[in-house]
């Protein structure tokens, strides 16, 4: 249990963040470095509702100081007040907590800033750029657009077959890429592939970008400025910061 949320928690309160306590009910290792936890929601879903790519901020203890990280809900079920969270494991207090979490453990969470606006008109083709950190959000998006063709550039150092990707071969053109040159490899591939694909995606393409912050900014600038996609046809959010 984190005692207080520091200045970050105070800011979230000012922006009407809502606090809840989750309880772990189970865990499973998807791969050696990818772990799924099952939780009860402490009344959250009944209070907030659910939408695609919905995320929450979890509070961890980091050497006596509060530390928050955002995670996307996996298969939220308001009727039962349950959901799962998935963790790409690496060094850090969030991964340490996920590795050792067991049934009965609790964690504090805040919901704030998670809104997602469904594109209108509905996409005729989805173009997604993501990585392992954004995998739960990507799956949530594909679930919500379950009849929409999609082209997906996915940066990962895992074997793609080992990850819980929710792909439909007849709908999804999945293009896994290794992370190279701090995201420059992904950016180069998108710049090569995307322009001719957009020509066949009319009238209503939709671009969704969820990579590290620097890569996300570069791709967002490219599709908005160089490819001239309207702002409402592009959704972008940096999911982590490269160090």
Ordered per-residue pLDDT tens for the chain, 243 residues: 444 555 454 444 444 578 999 999 999 999 888 999 999 999 999 999 999 999 999 999 998 899 999 999 999 999 999 999 999 888 899 999 999 999 999 999 999 766 778 899 999 999 999 999 899 999 999 999 999 999 999 998 878 888 999 999 999 999 999 999 989 999 999 999 999 999 887 789 999 999 999 999 999 999 999 999 999 999 998 887 776
| SS3 assignment for 184-213 | HHHHHHHHHHHHHHHHCCCCCEEEEEECEH
CA distances (Å), 4 to each of 17, 152, 210, in order? 14, 40, 30
Measured N-to-C along each axis, helices 213-221 and 184-199 cross at an angle, to the nearest 10 degrees, of 30
d(CA 144, CA 235): 15
Looking up tokens 């079920």, which residue turns up? 77
| Domains defined for the chain, CATH in brackets | 6-111 (2.40.30.10), 125-236 (3.40.50.80)
d(CA 29, CA 100): 11
Pair type for strands 150-155 and 55-62:
unpaired
Instruction: Confirm whether pTM is higher than 0.85.
Output: yes
């Amino acid at each position: 249990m984190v005692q207080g949320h520091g200045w970050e928690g105070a800011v979230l309160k000012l922006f009407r963040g809502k606090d809840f306590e989750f309880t772990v009910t189970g865990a499973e290792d998807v791969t050696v470095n990818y772990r799924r936890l099952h939780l009860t929601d402490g009344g959250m879903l009944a209070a907030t509702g659910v939408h695609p790519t919905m995320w929450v901020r979890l509070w961890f203890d980091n050497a006596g100081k509060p530390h928050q990280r955002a995670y996307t809900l996996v298969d939220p079920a308001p009727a039962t007040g349950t959901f799962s969270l998935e963790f790409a494991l690496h060094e850090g207090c969030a991964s340490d907590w996920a590795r050792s979490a067991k049934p009965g453990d609790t964690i504090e969470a805040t919901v704030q800033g998670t809104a997602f606006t469904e594109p209108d008109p509905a996409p005729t083709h989805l173009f997604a750029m993501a990585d392992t950190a954004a995998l739960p959000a990507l799956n949530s998006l594909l679930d919500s657009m379950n009849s929409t063709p999609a082209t997906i550039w996915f940066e990962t150092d895992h074997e793609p077959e080992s990850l819980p990707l929710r792909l439909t071969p007849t709908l999804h053109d999945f293009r896994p890429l290794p992370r190279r040159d701090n995201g420059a490899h992904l950016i180069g591939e998108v710049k090569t592939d995307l322009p001719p694909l957009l020509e066949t995606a009319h009238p209503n393409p939709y671009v969704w970008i969820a990579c590290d912050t620097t890569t996300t900014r570069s791709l967002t600038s490219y599709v908005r400025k160089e490819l001239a996609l309207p702002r409402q046809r592009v959704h972008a959010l940096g999911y982590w910061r490269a160090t």
